[in-house]
A = this chain, B = another copy of it.
């Protein structure tokens, strides 16, 4: 696996792919990789000629009191996992390459980024949109792969790519889960053993709501209440939101229909965890 530590080596790698007419698959990450990330690399290998991942803990998507400084950084393990998965190249920029002196431009995603996680993380999705835009321009992928665990992020990036007519296909891939259903996340490392055990109830809450939906319940407040009940029973105190939304626009609905998505966020110990599930009928 080629290590691309600066813009010149990335540009040379991208130019070589262009010359060879190879379609680039791109997996942008913040490192601290787990099986969810590796599933993106695997899919990228299937769908593209070459795969490049990036590891960049992006400062502009963290709020002033968030975990930017303490976000887990596990570069050696990450490299080994990516190489083992057959990833062709790893781009490792530093903040000065992405945001050089005099930087002033922003990308603003609008209402899609202001609700749900955006309420407690103002500006977060604008920071995500900005870094993804820059990375897309540098890497010029045919397809970019994101985990659906970060569902709102996926919707925001897909919307942005469509709005700005970016020549890239944005693909979202299913959440990879631990044996008890906990969605894999770099922030699961923050969990103490007791917290880790309780965290499994996030998944059970989503399953319970889905079951009620399949049984015919169409009132979003009842579905959300069902999930909240399971979270409370599971000892999850710090619920930030539980919401049933239209899957593409993330709009609330008076009566649920189609295949809506339930999203939730909760603080468990030091970790802020998110998860979601499409309330499919099948």
Q: A137-B165, A137-B166, A166-B137 are in contact. Are A106 and B102 (CB under 8 A)?
A: no
The answer to whether B102 touches A109, judged by C-beta atoms less than 8 angstroms apart, is: no
Q: Does A112 contact B (CB under 8 A)?
A: yes
Q: Does A163 contact B (CB under 8 A)?
A: yes
Q: Does A187 contact B (CB under 8 A)?
A: no
Contact of A159 among B104, B159, B164, B249 (CB under 8 A): B104
- What string of 1s and 0s marks CB contacts (under 8 Å) between A133-161 and chain B? 11001101000000000000000000110
Q: A137-B166, A138-B165 are in contact. Are A105 and B106 (CB under 8 A)?
A: no
List the B side residues contacting A63 at CB < 8 Å.
none
Per the 8 Å Cβ criterion, residues 160-176 of A in contact with B are: 160, 163-167
Q: What's the tally of chain A residues with a CB closer than 8 Å to chain B?
A: 25
Q: A164-B133, A164-B137, A165-B138 are in contact. Are A111 and B105 (CB under 8 A)?
A: no
Q: Does A261 contact B (CB under 8 A)?
A: no
Q: Does A107 contact B (CB under 8 A)?
A: yes
Q: Does A87 contact B (CB under 8 A)?
A: no
Q: A107-B107, A108-B108 are in contact. Are A249 and B163 (CB under 8 A)?
A: no
Q: How far is the CB of A73 from chain B (nearest CB, A)?
A: 24
Q: A137-B166, A165-B134, A165-B138 are in contact. Are A105 and B160 (CB under 8 A)?
A: yes
The answer to whether A111 touches B107, judged by C-beta atoms less than 8 angstroms apart, is: no
- What string of 1s and 0s marks CB contacts (under 8 Å) between A191-224 and chain B? 0000000000000000000000000000000000
Contact of A163 among B104, B108, B165 (CB under 8 A): B104
5 residue pairs bridging A and B, Cβ less than 8 Å apart: A102-B159, A102-B249, A105-B108, A106-B107, A137-B166
Given pairs A104-B112, A105-B159, 14 additional interface contacts (CB within 8 A): A104-B109, A104-B111, A104-B163, A105-B108, A105-B110, A106-B107, A106-B108, A106-B110, A107-B107, A108-B108, A133-B164, A134-B165, A137-B165, A137-B167
Query: Can you list the 10 inter-chain pairs with the closest CB atoms, starting with the nearest?
Result: A104-B110, A105-B163, A137-B165, A106-B108, A105-B160, A134-B165, A138-B165, A137-B166, A103-B163, A108-B108
